[in-house]
Structures are given as structure tokens and as C-alpha cells.
A and B are shown apart, each in its own frame.
Chain A
Amino acid sequence: MSIPFFVFFACAVLAIAGALVLIVSREPIHSALALVLVMISLAILYLLLGAPFIAAVQIIVYAGAIMVLFVFVIMLLNAGVEERTNWSKLAKYAGLPLALILLLETAHWLFHAPIGVAIANGPGAPAPAASTTQLSLELFQQYLFPFEATSILILIAILGALVLARKEE
């Protein structure tokens, strides 16, 4: 069993475990940490997939910024253990089966749908690790407009966040 397989399985197990913890734990902060775990393991998978830049961004932005923000808010609101209320019968009874169906469907999709097949047996061969230069070129030439758009989006988001979170005098 070669190294990539090992890494993959380790990360996969970690990620799934993290997701499960996220679901099971009733302490928001634990969920957050679990999610961070998932993200980090995903980042490693990205490395494995030859996308170091994405991996780094994943960690910096997701784990380093977004999740910190989550933790920060959790701490700020001192969000305690989540209480057990089940008013939504629908969610209670339909949720799990539905999600499972979705999962199966997706799996079926991936394996039996033509596209899925095409990719599943697709070239697993290690493509040269996407160098940051190529990526940046792609980003700033082909996808320039979306890039600008997102920047504006972020600006708007900042303003919105400020407006929302400001205490009304």
C-alpha cells in the first residue's frame, strides 16, 4: 500500500470522522473544530491532487479566517449546548432517509451515469502539479471578470456585515 493511498485513506477517515462529529456533538465549538479538521484533511487531499495553492488558500481562508470567525461568534454569543427540541416532524422523520437517498443517488451518479463513468475511469495519472503561475494566469486572464465581480461581492458583503452587526443607537 503506497504512500498516496495511505494519505488518502487517513485524510478521508479524518474528514468523515470530522463530519460525523460535526453532526453528533451538541457543543457548537466542537462542531467548529470538527469542521476545521475536515477542512485541513481536505487541504491535504488537495495537495495530494496536486493543487497546493488551493490547499493553502483552503487553509488560510477557510480554516484560518472563516472558521475563526465562526469560533469567534460562538464565543461572542457564548453559544451553549444546543437544546433538544423536535418541532419539525418533517426534518425528524424525512431528513435522514432523504439524505441517504441523496447520497445513494450521488454515488449512483458517479458510477453509473455516463459522465460519472467517463471520469471514474478517467486519467488518474498524476498531472503535473498545477503551478501557481498557471493558476494565476487562468484567473487573471480568462476569469478576470468573475474575479472582479467577486471582489465587488466581498466589498458589499463587508458593508452588509457592518450594517447588520452595528448596534442601533
Chain B
Amino acid sequence: MPILSHLWIILALPLAGAAINGLFGKRWPQSAVNSVAVGSVSLAFLAVLELVREFSHLAQDQIPYVGNYFTWITAGSFRVDFSLQVDQLTIVMLLTVSFVGMLIHIYSTGYMAHEGGYYRFFCYLNLFMFFMLTLVMAANLIVMFVGWEGVGLCSYLLIGFWFLKKSAADAGKKAFITTRIGDLGFMIGLLLVFWTFNSESFGEIFLQAGHMRAESATHVGVLTAICLLLFAGAVGKSAQLPLYVWLPDAMEGPTPVSALIHAATMVTAGVYMVARMHPLFSRAPIAMFAVAVVGAVTAFYSATIGLVQTDIKKVLAYSTVSQLGYMFLACGVGAYAAGIFHLMTHAFFKGLLFLAAGSVIHAMGGEQDMMKMGGLRKKIPITYWTMLIATLAIAGIPGFAGFFSKDEILEAAGAGPHANLWLWLLGVIGAGLTSFYMFRLVFLTFFGRPRFDEHKVHVHESPKNMTVSLMILAFCSIFGGWFAAPHLVGGTEYFEHFLHPVFSSYAVQAATEQAGSLAGNPGAEGGMASSPAMELLHALTGWPVIVGILGLLVAWWFYIKKPEAPKLLAQKIHGLYLLLLNKYYVDEIYAALIVRPLLWISTNVLWHGVDQGLIDGIVNGSARVARESGGKVRELQSGNTRSYAAWVVIGAVGFTVLLLGILGMVVH
């Protein structure tokens, strides 16, 4: 079991790549940098595959498999090992992250080919992979936190990659600070966890949590607090309400970055964390509900914003936010498996969407405004088809990956143990909106007449290394969903079964029932609809599809049949339109409510008051004292050796007197 017994290899590979590129890349040709970066990540991917093979041979009782490497921190009873663990959840995440990461690396070699700071980009990217994998494989909260902050750092670096562009630098800062707000909660959560369980390692925590009584809505205890705090971190990292504001701006970064970090992997870290901590969440219904509500509302809310955006990447950004909302919704209603599943499929198709969008932008020579595109269908066919597939997937058209995952989520939201009609409603409407704005994007970009000067912009298909990854991802976005083919379409809940041990092991009764109802329902095998439950399922399963197709049609009607219709509508409901266009003025509100007061305080109180008045006062004061006294004392420094000699003698005399005095005391 080479890899399993040496999990660190998977981490070491990208880190090594980052180190090499960071140290020597500057002087190396792009080819060398490529081979290092892509090579390291691909090796990591292979390692993961091998790990999966070995993992499949593990006995059930050996899971989760934990590898301790060294004691990292010891302070009193506080002891943290640097330990990694593998279980089914980890496996899924690992596969997703390393696979998508690898593809995006390959893509980037083409996309960034003409950029400055090439080696820097790949150094950061590898570093990101390292931290992300750390986060995923962590066996205790502290190591996880390291990865957590690490990916934050990398995203900051990468968003601000074109740091000469002020907007980019600002976006980087915004992302960092906003997530930091959430991370504060996360950190407090960590402390609380330690205070409660006196340990940070998952195994220990879950074991103890398993023995704790589940808290109810009426009786709220430490678990709820912990979960809410941790969830605050997740909200920051995964750009949920109210901390989502950084993600759209993060689109300032290079598109591959948006694809990898802000669609596929990092932003899903929050979801992963919630899923990972499910034993706690399952015992904190309030927290669960909060998660669900935040998820559902975010899903709907950002979908509405997505309706009217014209920047292709902004649209994708908002859709990402809303999709993440779905994942949280899933977790919130206890369908962790569904959430993780959606996470995976979303990684595929959203990554694909971003890459395709990047390819479009590449083709348009840096143009991001959809209003200035159109009719690209013929010119960049590969991009077109792949993007179409991704759109179908995200819109939840049956047969594509998105269908299954989203379907499961809504199913759980509607029929699960924690089902809630309103959440379900929000989810369904959100689904409809999603398909609308996604098709809007497609139509605006690829159909109709070109709305740009054909002579200025000569559109060209992207190079191989970009299109290849596009196609691979397209393939995944189609068939990635069949893993979990729910029984109603005659599938065998494979994904559920696979993740089942993780989420059932520490689950409270309710959770296990739910898992059972989803997984091991004998009547469900073969997909024949017999029980009333199945009827309901069918009915529910219909809705997402219907709204999805509805959205498609509406979009078609608006942007193909009557291109002028949107304007009219915009005029009709102008207020709403503006509201959406300006993203509900959230940024402005934040600015007014938080940023400006903060600025005022820090300027007048902290800066002028504390810093200048107090600290500078102390510093300068001490300096002044030193100078004055020095000025006095330096008179002794006569530069005259003889007086120095005299001083020496004085010292000797004094010392002897002292000694005699002491001895006198000793004697008498």
C-alpha cells in the first residue's frame, strides 16, 4: 500500500512543483515551467487513483484510515498531530479536486501562454492544489484550517494576479477580507470545539459527539453554537449570503483561476466542511435549518441577480453562488450525499462553463461583455458544443449530470426528513431562473448576429491544450451524473451507497432513517413506482425538469424570437431591473453600513487617536528620554583614556567597598 501508507506524497507533489517553479521558474522557459506544474499535478492525480485502488481493498473497520506523521503543536493538553485521513468523502473530494485541477492546469498552459509572470501563476496554482488537498485530507480541524487559510491566501494571490490593475488588486483584498470575517467565526468555532471535546481530531470529536444527545430546536447547546460558528466560516469561504460579495469581483482574476478556485474547488470547501462535520450538524437542528435557509435563499437570490448581468463571467459567478446555495440546501436538509454529489457534478460543469467562457474571451480577444458577442456558434464550434452541454447540465435537463444531483437535492428538500416546502419552492424557482440565465448566456453569445466589428476582432478557436480539457470536462458533465442515477430512472444509487458509511456511522437516528429511505429502500429497486412515496417522488422529480425546460423556452423567446423584448420588459419594470442590475445595491449598502464607519473609526480613533497619540507618544517619548539622558551622560565620554582609567579605579574601589561590606555582614 505505497500511497495509503504515505499519504503525504499526494501533498508533497504539488508543493514541490510550487517550490521549484517559485524558486527557479523565473529563468526557465515556459515549457519547463509547464512540465513542472502540470507534471506535479498529474502525478498527484495518478497518486490519487492509486490511492483509490488501495482504498477499495481496505476493510470496513479500517475506514477512515488515519495517518499520523508528526506531532505538530503541543501546548499543555492542547496537542495537534499533523495527520491525514482517508474515507469515502475524502476520496470523492480528492478525485474531483485533483482531476479538475489537472485539467485546468493543462488548460492554463494555453490560456496564460501570452501572460507575464507565467512561472508565478503556476507556482501559485500548484500551491493552491497543495493547500486544497491538505484541506481535503486533513484528519483534524487544525490541519484543515491550515488548508482553509492556505487556499484563501492562494485565491488572494491569484485574484490579484494582475496586481498592476487596481480593480484586480482591490478584488483580491476584498475577497481576502470578506472571507476573513467568516474565518473569524471559524476560528472561534475551533476554540469552542477544543473547549468542548478537548481535541481537534475528527475521530475523537465524532466519537464524543456520537454519545451526546441531539439538541432540539427548544434546547440549544454548545453544538449549535459550534456549528453556527463553523458555518459562518463556510459562508465566507463559499460565498453565501451575506458574504457572497467577494466572489463576483473575484472574476478579475485569470479565467482558469475562476474555474479552478472560484467554481470547482475552493468555494466548495465550505460545503465539504459542513459535510465533514455532519455528526455535529445532525445534532444541531437549528444550525441545520440555518444552513438550509441560507442555502436556499442564496440560491434564489443570486439567481435573480444572474438574470440581468451582461458580463459573461459575472453571470457564471452568480450562478456559482446559487449552485453553492443548492449544496448548502442539501446539507441543511441532511442530504449530505446529495450535496457532495452536486459539488462534484458542479465542479465538472461549472469548471467547464468557466473554461468555455475563458475560451470565448480568448477568442474575442479579451472581450467579456455578452452584448458585444453573438453568432460565435460557427466560428468556435468546440467551445460552443462543450458550453452547450455544460448549460444543459446546469439547467438540469434530464440525462445530464446536473439533473441527477439537483434533482436529488430538491427531492431531499421536498421529501426528506427535514423537508420544508418553502425551501423546496425557492429551490425550484431558482432552478428555473438558473436555466433561464444560462440559456440567455448561450443565446447571447453564440446565436444571433455578431454584435462586434468582425474586422477588428478576428475570432479564432483556442489551441488544443485548451479544447482538450474542455472536451474531457464535457464528457464528465454528461456522464458524471450516472454514478448516482437514482432508482426512479432505474439506477442503483451507487454514489449514495459509496458515501453511505461516512454519513451513517455517526448519524443520529433520524439521519440513518433518511439514509435508509434514500439508499436501501427495497421497494425502490428496479425503479417500479409502487408505494405512495414513490408517487410523490415522481411528482417532485418532475418539477425541476419542467421549470428547467420552461426557463429554456423563455430564454429562447426573449433572445432568439424577439431580441427587443428584454428592453421592453426592462423599461416596464424598470425599478426591479435596476435593482437586479445593481445586485440589490448590496455593495453600496455594505459600504454605507460597514466600510465607511469602520474607515471613520480607524481613521479618527485608531490612527489619529491611538496610533499617533498613544503609541507614537510612547515611542517618541522614550526616544526623547533616551536622547536627553544620553546627551547628559555622554559628557563622561570624554575620549580621554586617563579619565576612563580613573572611572575604572572608582569602580574597583566601589566594588571592594561593597565586598568588604558584604563580608562584614557575613562575619558579624
Q: Find out whether A and B make contact in their complex, taking CB atoms under 8 A apart as touching.
A: yes
Contact B656 A109 (CB under 8 A): yes
B646, B650, B659, B666 — most chain A CB neighbours (10 Å)? B646
Contact B646 A105 (CB under 8 A): no
Interface of A is mostly: helix
Q: For the complex, is B652 an interface residue (Cβ under 8 Å from A)?
A: yes
B638, B649, B663 — most chain A CB neighbours (10 Å)? B649
Q: Tell me the complex Cα distance, A108–B640, Å.
A: 32
Q: With A88-B643, A98-B653, A102-B653 as given contacts, are A109 and B638 in contact (CB-CB < 8 Å)?
A: no
Q: With A87-B640, A88-B642, A91-B645 as given contacts, are A105 and B660 in contact (CB-CB < 8 Å)?
A: yes
Cβ-closest chain B residue relative to A102? B653
Rounded to whole Å, the gap between the CB of A41 and the closest CB of chain B is 25
Q: For the complex, is B667 an interface residue (Cβ under 8 Å from A)?
A: yes
Contact A88 B657 (CB under 8 A): no
Contacts of B660 in A (CB 8 A): 105, 108-109, 113
Contact B650 A94 (CB under 8 A): yes
Instruction: Render B626-668 as a binary contact track against A, CB cut-off 8 A, 1 for contact.
Output: 0000000000001010110111011011001101100100110
Contacts of B645 in A (CB 8 A): 91, 95
Contacts of A101 in B (CB 8 A): 653
Q: For the complex, is A164 an interface residue (Cβ under 8 Å from B)?
A: no
Rounded to whole Å, the gap between the CB of A104 and the closest CB of chain B is 10
Contacts of B657 in A (CB 8 A): 105
Contact B656 A88 (CB under 8 A): no
Q: With A109-B660, A113-B660 as given contacts, are A88 and B650 in contact (CB-CB < 8 Å)?
A: no
Rounded to whole Å, the gap between the CB of B101 and the closest CB of chain A is 60
Cβ-closest chain B residue relative to A117? B667
Q: Which of A49-107 contact B (CB under 8 A)?
A: 87-91, 94-95, 98-99, 101-102, 105-106
Interface of B is mostly: helix
Contact B649 A102 (CB under 8 A): yes
Q: For the complex, is A114 an interface residue (Cβ under 8 Å from B)?
A: yes
Contact A95 B656 (CB under 8 A): no
Contact of A98 (CB < 8 Å), options: B638, B640, B650, B659: B650
Contacts of B666 in A (CB 8 A): 114
Contact B663 A102 (CB under 8 A): no
Contact B667 A102 (CB under 8 A): no
Contacts of A94 in B (CB 8 A): 646, 649-650
Contacts of B647 in A (CB 8 A): 90
Q: Tell me the complex Cα distance, A90–B642, Å.
A: 8
Contact A91 B653 (CB under 8 A): no
Contact B646 A95 (CB under 8 A): yes
Contact B667 A114 (CB under 8 A): yes
Contact B653 A114 (CB under 8 A): no
Q: Tell me the complex Cα distance, A88–B639, Å.
A: 10
On chain A, the number of residues with a Cβ less than 8 Å from chain B's Cβ atoms is 18
Contacts of A115 in B (CB 8 A): 663
Rounded to whole Å, the gap between the CB of B662 and the closest CB of chain A is 10
Contact A105 B656 (CB under 8 A): yes
Q: With A87-B640, A90-B643, A91-B643 as given contacts, are A98 and B656 in contact (CB-CB < 8 Å)?
A: no
Rounded to whole Å, the gap between the CB of A140 and the closest CB of chain B is 34
Q: Tell me the complex Cα distance, A89–B657, Å.
A: 24
Contact B656 A91 (CB under 8 A): no
Contact B642 A105 (CB under 8 A): no
Rounded to whole Å, the gap between the CB of B534 and the closest CB of chain A is 92
Q: With A105-B656, A109-B656 as given contacts, are A88 and B638 in contact (CB-CB < 8 Å)?
A: yes
Q: Tell me the complex Cα distance, A94–B646, Å.
A: 7
Q: Tell me the complex Cα distance, A91–B638, Å.
A: 12
Q: With A108-B660, A109-B660 as given contacts, are A88 and B646 in contact (CB-CB < 8 Å)?
A: yes
Q: Tell me the complex Cα distance, A102–B651, Å.
A: 10
Rounded to whole Å, the gap between the CB of A3 and the closest CB of chain B is 35
Contact B653 A90 (CB under 8 A): no
Contacts of B656 in A (CB 8 A): 102, 105-106, 109
Contacts of A114 in B (CB 8 A): 663, 666-667
Cβ-closest chain B residue relative to A108? B660
Contact of B663 (CB < 8 Å), options: A87, A91, A106, A113: A113
Q: Tell me the complex Cα distance, A115–B650, Å.
A: 24
Contact A105 B653 (CB under 8 A): yes
Contacts of A105 in B (CB 8 A): 653, 656-657, 660
Q: Which of A4-53 contact B (CB under 8 A)?
A: none
Contacts of A88 in B (CB 8 A): 638, 640, 642-643, 646
Contact A91 B642 (CB under 8 A): yes
Cβ-closest chain B residue relative to A101? B653
Contact A99 B649 (CB under 8 A): yes
Cβ-closest chain A residue relative to B638? A88
Rounded to whole Å, the gap between the CB of A79 and the closest CB of chain B is 16
Contacts of A87 in B (CB 8 A): 640, 642
Contacts of B653 in A (CB 8 A): 98, 101-102, 105
Q: Tell me the complex Cα distance, A94–B649, Å.
A: 9
Q: Tell me the complex Cα distance, A159–B281, Å.
A: 75
Rounded to whole Å, the gap between the CB of B597 and the closest CB of chain A is 64
Contacts of B659 in A (CB 8 A): 109
Cβ-closest chain B residue relative to A86? B642
Q: Tell me the complex Cα distance, A89–B635, Å.
A: 13
Cβ-closest chain A residue relative to B640? A88
Contacts of B642 in A (CB 8 A): 87-88, 90-91, 95
Q: Tell me the complex Cα distance, A101–B663, Å.
A: 18
Q: Tell me the complex Cα distance, A60–B656, Å.
A: 33
Q: Which of B46-98 contact A (CB under 8 A)?
A: none
Q: Tell me the complex Cα distance, A98–B666, Å.
A: 26
Contacts of A106 in B (CB 8 A): 656
Q: Tell me the complex Cα distance, A108–B650, Å.
A: 17
Q: Which of A98-146 contact B (CB under 8 A)?
A: 98-99, 101-102, 105-106, 108-109, 113-115
Q: Tell me the complex Cα distance, A88–B539, Å.
A: 108
Q: Tell me the complex Cα distance, A106–B660, Å.
A: 10
Q: Tell me the complex Cα distance, A140–B499, Å.
A: 78
Rounded to whole Å, the gap between the CB of A14 and the closest CB of chain B is 26
Contact B649 A98 (CB under 8 A): yes
Rounded to whole Å, the gap between the CB of B655 and the closest CB of chain A is 10
Contacts of A95 in B (CB 8 A): 642, 645-646, 649
Rounded to whole Å, the gap between the CB of B363 and the closest CB of chain A is 72
Q: Tell me the complex Cα distance, A90–B646, Å.
A: 7
Contacts of B652 in A (CB 8 A): 102
Cβ-closest chain B residue relative to A98? B649
Q: Tell me the complex Cα distance, A83–B489, Å.
A: 115
Contacts of B663 in A (CB 8 A): 113-115
Q: Considering the complex of A and B, which 4 residue pairs feature the smallest CB-CB distances, nearest first?
A: A91-B642, A88-B642, A90-B643, A88-B643
- Taking A87-B642, A95-B645 as known contacts, 7 extra A-B pairs with beta carbons closer than 8 A to each other, sorted by chain A number, are A90-B646, A95-B646, A98-B653, A106-B656, A109-B656, A109-B660, A113-B663
Q: Interface on A for B, CB 8 Å cutoff?
A: 87-91, 94-95, 98-99, 101-102, 105-106, 108-109, 113-115
A-B contacts, 6 of them at CB < 8 A, read: A91-B642, A91-B643, A102-B656, A105-B656, A109-B659, A113-B663
Q: Interface on B for A, CB 8 Å cutoff?
A: 638, 640, 642-643, 645-647, 649-650, 652-653, 656-657, 659-660, 663, 666-667
